[in-house]
Structure 1
Amino acid sequence: MIDVLVLDVNETLTDMEPLRDGFAAAGLPRHSLEAWFAATLRDGFALTAVDGYAAFRDLAAGLLEAQLVAAGIEPTEETVGNVLSGFTRLPLHADVAPGLHKIHEAGVRIVTLTNGSAAMSENVFRDGGILPLIEHRLDVSVPQRWKPHADAYRYAAEVCGVPVERMGLAAVHPWDIDGAQRAGLQGFYIDRRTTPYPKVFSAPNHTVADFEALAELLQE
């Protein structure tokens, strides 16, 4: 079906719930995570739309500082750093390791492509037992276009040396699936929570419950 499977990282592979502990330790409500992460994506998308670029960490840090100030908390470098360092300690979703092992055994090449920093996931992948399965860990710092811009996916194709038509993207984010499909990749929507797929985006080529189900699909 495909030669290369491109994986989104945040939320798709990693469970971001533990980040709430960092927000609580900083004095913010645990539910602040959603607004902060959504705002970080929003600003990254907005810069990409006007041919601009900023690193995920820079945007995330600035928005976190704004949240702290709004809550009457001094936004020290230590406080911000402690929250953001949580990305390096996130667990993988339970289906990720067994699913990716089966996909790798089926002969499909595996790479990651994140709007964050590829370096932040190294320990996460090592601790989760999937680091040896990943051929390339990519981020958008080279194309300087955040997903879902087509240049981000084309960059992954260039690194892997395959046409986009021989690649697929697996993600929990409809905007990522839509962007990948518009760039010519196949889209694999990971729907762990049976969330209705927004009708404003192009329908996913394939919908699966998790990575173990995706492995079964790719082995057919």
Structure 2
Amino acid sequence: MLYQCPDYGIDGFEPADDSHRNLLYGVDAPELRVLAEHHTPVNSYFILHDQAATWGVPGAPQLRAVHLSRDLDARTFEVAMQEFPLFAMAESWLLDRRCPPDAIEPPDVHVAADALTRALETRVRRDAVRFTMLDSYTDDGVSPQVVVMLRSPGQESGPAFRILWERYDVVSGAHTLREGGFTTIDEARAWWTAWQQGDPPPLRPPVPAPRRGASSAAPVRPASTGLQGRCR
């Protein structure tokens, strides 16, 4: 499938102010291609792939979630954008901005390999703002994979730190997503270091939270720990 540049549907509209004009410049670039989108007269939601990211900062997120809203009376628009390393994380951000739950369909290049992956991605999509993203690394080399480190919102959510690990099988064209729980940041960093060195131990799934309704996934607020990913 050939993915196209985004069409924001703003002919005859003006940016609400200069900040939205500048944001539009950032998301209206030829290297950004649509992976998924949903439109209403007022809102447009996109998940974009930055094709130029592979030549930029090593390990940087390659997905962009974009929400464009239109004021039909004033004929103005506003833009919001956030970078994400995982498709489900981009979905969670769009859902938090009132995108209908079933409106964004994964593209044909993003196929879950098994039931565990589908279940975990459902939780990541659902729990949009509960977890803080501490770091991520996207490795799009011979064996593409993405690793994300998260901090839990509190003890009721189980282990304080999580790792999400997505691996893409170039033969089958499908990906797996796995989750591990860590009590301390040092434990999470130790796993990250082992992954950097090419020999990570199996991820231990987080113990289910005892509190009813608590969840165990999903990252949208970025913060940096200074962790470094693997060099290409």
TM-score band by shorter chain is: under 0.3
| Greater fraction of residues in helix | 1
| Greater fraction of residues in strand | 2
Q: Please, what TM-score do these two structures have when normalized by structure 2? A: 0.27
